[in-house]
A and B are shown apart, each in its own frame.
Chain A
Amino acid sequence: MEELKRTRRITIGVFAFIAVIIIGLATLKKPKDIYQFSPQQMNEELKLIYQVTPENATKMLKDTINNVFVDVRSIYDFEKGRIGNAVNIPIPMFLNDDNKKLFNQWKKDSVTVVFYGNDQLQANAPWMLMYQLGYTNTRVLLGGKNYLDKQIAGLLTENSTFEMENPAVDFKAILAKGRNGSKTATTVAPKKTVVVRKKKKKAAEGGC
Chain B
Amino acid sequence: MSKRYILLAIVLIGSAFGLVVLPNKHDTNQIPAEEFLIDIYNPARFLSTHQVAKRLIERDPSIFLVDVRTPSEFEEYSIPGAFNIPLENLLEEEWADYLSQDGVDVVLFSNGDIYADQAWTLIAQQGTKNLYIMKGGVNQWFSTIIQPVEPPETAPSEAFDLYAFEKAASIYFGGSSANVESATTTPTKKTVVVRKKKKKAAEGGC
Contact = CB atoms under 8 A, between A and B. Distances in A.
A145 B203 CA distance: 50
B84 to A, nearest CB: 9
Contact of B26 (A31, A178, A204): A31
A119 B46 CA distance: 15
Contacts of A171: 76-77, 138, 142
B26 to A, nearest CB: 6
Contacts of A124: 113-114, 117-118, 121
A152 B38 CA distance: 33
Nearest to A182: B178
A48 interface: no
B192 A39 contact: no
Contacts of B114: 120-121, 124, 164-165
A154 interface: no
Contacts of A167: 73, 111, 138-139
A160 interface: no
A52 B36 CA distance: 25
B4 A178 contact: no
B40 interface: yes
A45 B142 CA distance: 31
Interface string B80-95: 1111000110110010
A207 B117 contact: no
Contacts of B78: 189
Contacts of B76: 171-172
B125 A39 contact: yes
Contacts of A59: none
A179 B174 contact: yes
Most buried by B among A7, A133, A182, A204: A182
Contact of B186 (A47, A177, A188): A188
Interface string A29-50: 0011111001110110011000
B88 A43 contact: yes
A187 B172 contact: yes
Interface in A1-60: 3, 7, 10-11, 14, 17-18, 21, 25, 31-35, 38-40, 42-43, 46-47
A119 B205 CA distance: 51
B23 to A, nearest CB: 10
Contact of B185 (A121, A168, A185): A185
A202 B142 contact: no
Interface of A: 3, 7, 10-11, 14, 17-18, 21, 25, 31-35, 38-40, 42-43, 46-47, 91-92, 94-95, 119-121, 124-126, 128-129, 132-133, 163-169, 171-172, 174-175, 177-179, 181-197, 199-200, 202-208
- The 3 residue pairs across chains A and B that have the minimum distance between CB atoms: A206-B204, A164-B112, A187-B174
Given A91-B40, A91-B41, 10 more contacts: A38-B30, A43-B91, A124-B117, A132-B30, A132-B125, A166-B111, A168-B139, A178-B174, A185-B183, A190-B80
7 contacts: A119-B113, A121-B114, A184-B183, A184-B184, A185-B171, A186-B174, A194-B192
